[in-house]
């Protein structure tokens, strides 16, 4: 008899509720060894490679690539050897997921028939069941093959076995209690509002049957004994009609389901735009001196940081000098950061992500450049760790490389501000009573008006512009 194992949707992080099976790296009927790559699972922010934690055979693949499944859902059935289809069918039909993490779930024997308590075999593997739970299962004759483990990786705990051994709790009937015909409102078991309605419409509470707890008479019970016109004036307004179903796509239209990452982005930006009072401050900065400095570094070393790397450094220095911008907003609290944790927007084929350069004010432009490149590579490969993209005190979104002159960015909550950067363009201006040409970039600062005032944002933007136009301090 093959020992079957359930492979379920794992849970990575408190906020994860579902995932998408991006691709299967194993086939039905094939065997795999411990450490082999089983599947790729996409979450809200990252794509994780799931490796095997034991040697097994793929008895059945249940999850379809590209489909979303909740945490704990059965994705595949593995076994220590090939199993017949009937046994796998029975295993799938009787599977009860715990909804908890289970990248390496508990093993269960495929039962041919219900076993008597004396014949129940309890696994001795501590990774499957805790020692205390195993002892309790043997003592009470509980079949652990039907117990859903709530511990890490589906491990069966003592609480799981105790719960399985309890008889179902009987729910109270909740039936109405007869209070008999009694005259006088105060002697009836009714809510104050029900008594007022009964008095106003002359309803005898002794003839009303209560539908509330322990037979308590409610307003709705009294209204059933009131004339229809009176009931209509007191009844709540009708519920709004159900939304109409989405129209069928027209011919030639391709329907694409949102990935978990795209849905998370949609939720975050909708929340930001609908709950955060944005205001925008715009300015331009000459980058001729910055470009000359970069060119000099390139001639000296053969490589140079990008303009965006210099901007990250400039923003970091401006943020520590203006701590009222270097904030997160949490309800009615403002969290000020001691260092500038600058998030840099990176476009991927699945959506926009913002990996974070931690304490950018303490790092050189060269160090920032190397870190941003590594973060961008991991972002596009879907291999960012949660701590690399969660949090941050400020964001930069640069669309200059796409030829965009200027735009306004949406704040990434709980951060208090974000800087939008456009492309460098040649422009003419007056300087020392003469016409002078310079290369300028457009800057747009989006601020959360709950925490940042206009004057505070303006001082920060002025400081940032000065650092960009006289960039010597950026290389210190």
pLDDT tens column, 389-422: 888 999 999 999 999 999 999 999 999 999 999 9
Residue 80 pLDDT greater than 80, yes or no: yes
Q: How confident is residue 167, by pLDDT bands cut at 50, 70 and 90?
A: low
Query: What value does the mean pLDDT take over residues 325-337?
Result: 94
Residue 230 pLDDT greater than 90, yes or no: no
Domain spanning 260-475: which CATH class is it, in words?
A: alpha beta
Q: How confident is residue 363, by pLDDT bands cut at 50, 70 and 90?
A: very high
Residue 448 pLDDT greater than 90, yes or no: yes
Check residue 231 and give its pLDDT.
46
**3-state class (DSSP) for residue 287:** coil
Q: How confident is residue 184, by pLDDT bands cut at 50, 70 and 90?
A: low
CA atoms of 237 and 246, how far apart (whole Å)? 26
Residue 227 pLDDT greater than 70, yes or no: no
Indicate the fold that domain 3-165 takes in CATH. Answer: OB fold (Dihydrolipoamide Acetyltransferase, E2P) (2.40.50)
Check residue 112 and give its pLDDT.
42
Say whether 449 is catalytic: yes
Q: Which CATH superfamily is domain 185-229 in?
A: E3-binding domain (4.10.320.10)
Query: What value does the mean pLDDT take over residues 224-248?
Result: 64
With 0.85 as the threshold, say if the pTM is over it: no
Residue 243 pLDDT greater than 70, yes or no: no
Q: How confident is residue 99, by pLDDT bands cut at 50, 70 and 90?
A: very low
Q: Which residue in 278, 330, 339, 449 is the catalytic one?
A: 449
* Listed residue (104, 115, 179, 112) closest to 149, CA to CA: 104
What are the residues whose beta carbons fall under 8 Å from the beta carbon of 218, sequence distance 6 or more?
A: 190, 191, 193, 194, 210, 211, 212
Check residue 225 and give its pLDDT.
83
CB atoms within 10 A of CB 166: 7
Contact 412, 392 (CB under 8 A): yes
Cα–Cα distances (Å) from 263 to 68, 213, 270, 344, in that order, read: 12, 42, 10, 20
Residue 320 pLDDT greater than 90, yes or no: yes
Q: How confident is residue 190, by pLDDT bands cut at 50, 70 and 90?
A: confident
Query: What value does the mean pLDDT take over residues 76-80?
Result: 89
Q: What are the residue boundaries of the structural domains of the chain, listed by start?
A: 3-165, 185-229, 260-475
CA atoms of 340 and 80, how far apart (whole Å)? 52
CA atoms of 314 and 306, how far apart (whole Å)? 13
Query: What value does the mean pLDDT take over residues 280-307?
Result: 92
For 59, the enclosing helix (H) or strand (E) is strand 56-61
CA atoms of 437 and 403, how far apart (whole Å)? 20
Please give the structure tokens belonging to residue 126. Answer: 């501590």
């Amino acid at each position: 008899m093959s020992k079957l194992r359930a492979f379920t949707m794992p849970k990575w992080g408190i906020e994860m509720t579902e995932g998408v099976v991006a691709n299967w790296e194993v086939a039905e009927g094939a065997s795999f060894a411990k450490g082999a790559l089983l599947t790729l699972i996409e979450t809200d922010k990252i794509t994780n490679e799931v490796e095997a934690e034991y040697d097994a055979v793929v008895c059945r693949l249940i999850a379809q690539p590209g489909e979303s499944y909740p945490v704990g859902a059965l994705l595949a059935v593995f076994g220590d050897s090939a199993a017949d289809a009937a046994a796998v069918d029975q295993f799938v039909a009787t599977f009860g997921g715990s909804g908890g993490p289970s990248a390496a779930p508990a093993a269960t024997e495929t039962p041919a028939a219900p076993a008597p308590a004396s014949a129940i075999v309890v696994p001795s593997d501590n990774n499957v069941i805790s020692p205390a739970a195993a002892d309790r299962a043997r003592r009470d004759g509980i079949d652990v093959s039907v117990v859903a483990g709530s511990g890490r990786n589906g491990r069966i705990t003592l609480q799981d076995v105790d719960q399985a051994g309890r008889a179902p709790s009987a729910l109270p009937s909740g039936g109405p209690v007869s209070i008999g015909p009694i005259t006088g409102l105060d002697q009836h078991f009714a809510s104050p509002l029900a008594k007022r309605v009964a008095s106003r419409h002359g309803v005898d509470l002794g003839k009303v049957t209560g539908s509330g707890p322990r037979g308590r008479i409610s307003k709705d019970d009294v209204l059933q004994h009131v004339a229809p016109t009176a009931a209509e004036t007191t009844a709540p307004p009708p519920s709004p009609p159900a939304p109409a179903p989405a129209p069928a796509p027209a011919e030639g239209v391709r329907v694409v389901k949102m990935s978990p990452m795209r849905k998370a982005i949609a939720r975050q930006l909708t929340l930001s735009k609908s709950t955060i009072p944005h205001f925008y401050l715009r300015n331009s900065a000459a980058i001729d001196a910055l470009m000359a400095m970069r060119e000099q570094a390139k001639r000296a070393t053969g490589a140079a940081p990008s303009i965006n790397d210099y901007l990250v450094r400039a923003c970091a220095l401006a943020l520590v000098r203006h701590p009222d911008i270097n904030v997160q907003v949490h309800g009615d609290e403002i969290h000020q950061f001691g260092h500038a944790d600058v998030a840099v927007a990176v476009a991927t084929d699945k959506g926009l992500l913002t990996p974070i350069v931690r304490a950018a004010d303490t790092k050189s432009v060269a160090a920032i450049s190397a870190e941003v490149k590594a973060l961008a590579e991991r972002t596009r490969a879907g291999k960012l760790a949660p701590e690399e993209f969660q949090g941050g005190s400020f964001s930069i979104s640069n669309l200059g490389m796409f030829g965009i002159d200027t735009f306004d960015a949406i704040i990434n909550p709980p951060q208090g501000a974000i800087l939008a950067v456009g492309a460098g363009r040649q422009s003419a201006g007056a300087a020392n009573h003469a016409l002078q040409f310079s290369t300028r970039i457009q800057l747009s600062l989006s601020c959360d008006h709950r925490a940042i005032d206009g004057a505070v944002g303006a001082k920060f933007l002025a400081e940032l512009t000065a650092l960009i136009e006289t960039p010597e301090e950026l290389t210190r």
